[in-house]
Structure 1
Amino acid sequence: MANYVLVPGACHGGWWYEQIAAELRAAGHSAHPVTLSGLGPGESAAGINLDTHIDDVVRLLESEDLRDVVLCGHSYAGMVITGVADRAPERIATLLHVDAFAPEDGESVWSLTDDYWHEWYAGGAGADGFAFAPLPVLDERAVPHPLATITQQIRLTGAHRQVPRREYVYCSAFENSPFTATYERLKDDPNWHVRALPIGHNIVREAFDDFRKILLDAA
């Protein structure tokens, strides 16, 4: 049995993984979809930054005493799972970045993206200055996302490199993808298992069966 911890991207909660989590449980595994701080219905984004989200997941690993974890992060959550792996590498068997950031020390979502994405982050935060609104194309359950998680630089000791297996899935049909540079950097790195799928960013919607197989094979 494997322990899956599933961290969603910006503006999303654990609900994004509901169906895939059910499939993993049906296969005999434990699955823990995460709703990060400030991303539950009606929650405030004030005071929430990247460290808050990393702490959320580390607390889950510790409180449930989860080990041999397949830690999956989609999109923004690549920042989170990298930070978690740096703080608790001994609990993680596989890091799975799904069309996601894979930062180095001192980088942020802001530094890894261009003006196209900055317009959404900064322009979308005009209502209260704490969070940017979800894009209209996102699921109706999507909520505003804490802006400080985008601007805060990640601090890494290098311990995340102790995780035995690191995988990257690149969705090559995602228009204006901020992950192309990450894919190009990692695809020939022997420390990473990298694959590309000819789909858009929402792998749950566009390639559910492929995603399920990728997760099961990661155990």
Structure 2
Amino acid sequence: MTDFVLVAGTWLGAWAWDEVAGELRAAGHEVHPVTLSGLAEKRELPAGQQTHVRDIVDEVERLDLRDVVLVGHSYAGVPVGQAAERISDRLRRVVFVDANVPVDGESFLSGWPSEDVRQSIADHDGYWPPLGAQEYTGQGLTDEQIARIVNSTPHPGATLTGPAELTRPLGELPATYVKCLLDGEEPMPVVAELLRSESWELIEMDTGHWPMFTRPRELARVLHESTARP
């Protein structure tokens, strides 16, 4: 039995993992989906990048979890990657699901054309609202699934612009990177470099950027199989 801590990306809360969590529990695992500060039922809480790192670390320590697999989807890979190195001997593996990864001193918005996102945050009182429904086409989502994302919580902008803080090379962590091929066939360059490490492995899924909605059973299987890795 493994303790899974699941963290979804921008705009989403713990609710995004309902189907995956059910599959993992059926396989005998303990599952702890986390809602980050400023989102979903925690939308009233102020949040910056390091707040989200603390949210994850605090949940692991509060529950005194051991043999932990930390899972970060999309944006959440940034705080999850930082949290992974901070829980030290509690960590079994970290899994990045079509995710950004932390780079010391850089933010989620660093390294890609993000002017539109920054302007949207400025125009919406410091929050990044979900994109319009048309922006989610081609990702294997149903209309109902798209509507759930579109109607979810605006994301606190400070978490996207605050810098990551790493104390050791990320490539030293035992890690699985799940690449969702409908969102681009190649991992981003920083991930491709990390995948050269003997501690990292690449798994491909033939689906879009939100596999917890489009392929929950397959994603749960990938996560379950990650527990067998050294």
- TM-score category (smaller protein): 0.7 to 0.9
1:143 aligned residue (149, 153, 168): 153
Q: C-alpha deviations, 1:160-202, integer Å up to 9, x for none?
A: 6554x21101112216x99532443234332211122232211
Q: Does the CA-based 8 Å contact 1:89-1:159 persist in structure 2?
A: no
Partner of 2:162: 152
- Residue 123 (structure 2) aligns with: 126
Distance 1:145 1:179 in 2: 24
- After the TM superposition, which of the residue ranges 140-149 and 189-198 deviates more from structure 2? 189-198
The amino acid across from 1:181 in the alignment is P
| Counterpart for residue 170 of structure 1 | 179
Deviations along 1:104-161, whole A, 9 cap, x unmatched?
A: 211211113214xx31343244121x21101123424511001011111111111765
For 2:42 and 2:77, the matched residues in 1 are separated by 24
Aligned partners of 1:42, 1:65: CA distance in 2, in Å? 22
In structure 2, the CA distance between the partners of 1:42 and 1:6, relative to structure 1 (3 Å rule), is closer
The residue that corresponds to 1:102 in the other structure is 101
State how far apart, in whole Å, the 2-side matches of 1:93 and 1:68 are.
Answer: 5
Give 1:184's match in structure 2, choosing from 184, 192, 206. 192
Q: Which amino acid aligns with 1:216?
A: H
Could you tell me how far 1:55 is from its partner in structure 2?
0.5
Q: Structure 1 residues 23 and 125 mapped into 2: Cα distance closer, same or farther (>3 Å)?
A: farther
Indicate how the Cα distance of structure 1 residues 12 and 144 shifts in structure 2: closer, same or farther if over 3 A, else same.
same
| 2:112 corresponds to 1:91 | no
Deviation at 1:42, TM superposition (A): 7.3
User: 1:210 corresponds to which residue?
Assistant: 218
**Aligned-partner Cα distance in 1 for 2:191–2:205:** 12
Would the aligned equivalents of 2:16 and 2:213 in 1 still touch at CA under 8 Å?
no
Aligned-partner Cα distance in 2 for 1:11–1:88: 25
The two structures, once aligned, show a CA RMSD in angstroms of: 2.2
As a proportion of its length, which structure holds more helix?
Answer: 2
How high is the TM-score relative to the length of structure 2?
Answer: 0.84
Where 1:95 maps in the other structure, the secondary structure is strand
8 Å CA contact 2:176, 2:201 repeated in 1? yes
Q: Give the % identical residues.
A: 34
Contact 2:171 2:194 in 1 (8 A): no
Could you tell me which runs of 5 or more consecutive residues in structure 2 were left unpaired when the two chains were aligned.
134-145
> What is the letter of the counterpart of residue 154 of structure 2?
P
Distance in 2 separating the partners of 1:188 and 1:88: 24
> 2:72 and 2:3 mapped to 1: Cα distance?
14
TM-score normalised by the chain length of structure 1: 0.88
The SS at the match of 1:114 is coil
Q: Which runs of 5 or more residues in structure 1 are unaligned?
A: none
Q: Which amino acid aligns with 2:14?
A: G
Q: Corresponding residue for 1:27?
A: 27
Distance change in 2, residues 1:59/1:140 (3 Å): same
Aligned residues: 213
Alignment deviations for residues 70-101 of structure 1 (CA, whole Å, 9 cap, x no partner)? 10000001001111012212211000001001
2-structure distance, mates of 1:155, 1:105: 5
Q: Distance in 2 between matches of 1:153 and 1:203?
A: 27
Distance (whole Å) between structure 2 residues aligned to residue 14 and residue 112 of structure 1 = 28
